Each structure stands twice: as structure tokens, then as C-alpha cells.
């Protein structure tokens, strides 16, 4: 039985396309509109260590405190989310460049079958959230049967 992780093949394509169209969209869209709320997907590195039976997921959350990040496990899926608010420290009229993104950040991964909540560990350092969990539950690990 193989472990299946949720892979989003169009994530990078969508991000590149949004980046290419962003200058055109910004000119035609209202500048101060809160009508559209979109979820931003944090960048992710996913590493499997077969020797240690361990998966490490590293999420980028620059400028977000660990207290503002939520990690939820439900129905075999791990969801990492956070939200940043736009700064009201400066008036809107004074910006020459404004590239930082504000809004909801969310990413979901499919967990291997049989993983218990207490086997999932999370740590945050320098804006990178690292979550580790077993690649396969020990009781579900494949077993070889010798033909007699």
C-alpha cells in the first residue's frame, strides 16, 4: 500500500501566471477593494527520509509569528493556515511600491493512513514552519511474505 500525498500540480503554474498578469490586473482593478478575498498558498518543501520513515514539510511564513499560525488535522489531512492584516501605520497615498501580500494563507497536505496526532511535530524558526510526521504508520508498514 503506498502513501499518497496531496500534490497540487498547477500551483506553480498558477503562481507564474498570476505574476505575469499582475501588472495588467492591478491597473484595471480598483486599488482599495476588499471585495475579493483570496487565499494565498505558502511555499512548501516536502522531503521524505525513507531510512528514518519520516516526512518533513517546511512552509514559508515570513513575518508571521508562530502564535498566529494554526495547524489542524482532520479526516487524514493536515491544514496549515494564518492570516496577515494590511498595515494601517501609513496612509495609502504615500506608497511608491507595495509588494507585500496580506490576507489568508492556507495549505493542506494528505497524511499517510494510521498517523496519530501525537506523532506530528511542529517547530518555527526564522519564518519557516517545519512539520514532521512518520511516512507510514508502523502497523501499516509493508511486510514481506516468503513463499514456502
Write out the DSSP string of 92-116: GGG-S------EEEEEEEEPPTT--
pLDDT of residue 122: 96
11-87+100-137 placed in CATH 2.60.40.790: yes
Q: Which DSSP string do the residues of 14-66 spell out, in sequence order?
A: HHHHHHHHHHHHHHHS-TT--S---EEPPPEEEEEETTTTEEEEEEE-TT--G
Q: What percent of the chain has pLDDT over 90?
A: 31
Q: CA angle 109-37-75, nearest 5°?
A: 25
**Is residue 18 scored above 80 in pLDDT?**
no
**Is residue 135 scored above 90 in pLDDT?**
no
Q: What is the mean pLDDT of residues 99-126?
A: 87
CA–CA gap between residue 54 and residue 69 (Å, rounded): 23
Q: Tell me the pTM.
A: 0.63
pLDDT of residue 140: 65
Helix (H) or strand (E) holding 130: strand 128-134
pLDDT of residue 143: 80
Mean pLDDT over the full length of the chain: 77
How is the chain split into domains, by residue range?
11-87+100-137
Under DSSP, the state recorded for 89 is S
Instruction: Give the tens place of pLDDT for each residue, 49-65.
Output: 988 989 999 999 888 88
Amino acid at each position: 500500500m503506498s502513501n499518497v500525498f496531496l500534490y497540487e500540480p498547477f500551483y506553480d503554474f498558477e503562481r507564474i501566471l498570476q505574476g505575469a498578469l499582475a501588472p495588467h490586473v492591478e491597473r484595471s482593478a480598483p486599488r482599495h477593494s476588499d471585495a475579493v478575498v483570496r487565499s494565498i498558498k505558502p511555499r512548501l518543501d516536502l522531503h521524505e527520509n525513507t531510512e528514518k520513515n519520516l516526512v518533513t514539510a517546511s512552509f514559508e511564513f515570513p513575518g508571521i509569528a508562530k502564535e498566529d499560525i494554526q495547524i489542524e488535522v482532520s479526516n487524514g489531512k493536515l491544514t496549515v493556515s494564518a492570516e496577515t492584516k494590511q498595515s494601517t501605520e501609513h496612509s495609502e497615498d504615500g506608497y511608491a511600491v507595495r509588494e507585500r501580500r496580506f490576507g489568508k494563507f492556507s495549505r493542506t497536505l494528505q497524511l499517510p493512513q494510521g498517523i496519530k496526532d501525537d506523532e506530528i511535530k511542529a517547530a518555527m524558526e526564522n519564518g519557516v514552519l517545519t512539520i514532521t510526521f512518520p511516512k507510514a504508520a508502523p502497523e501499516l508498514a509493508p511486510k514481506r511474505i516468503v513463499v514456502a
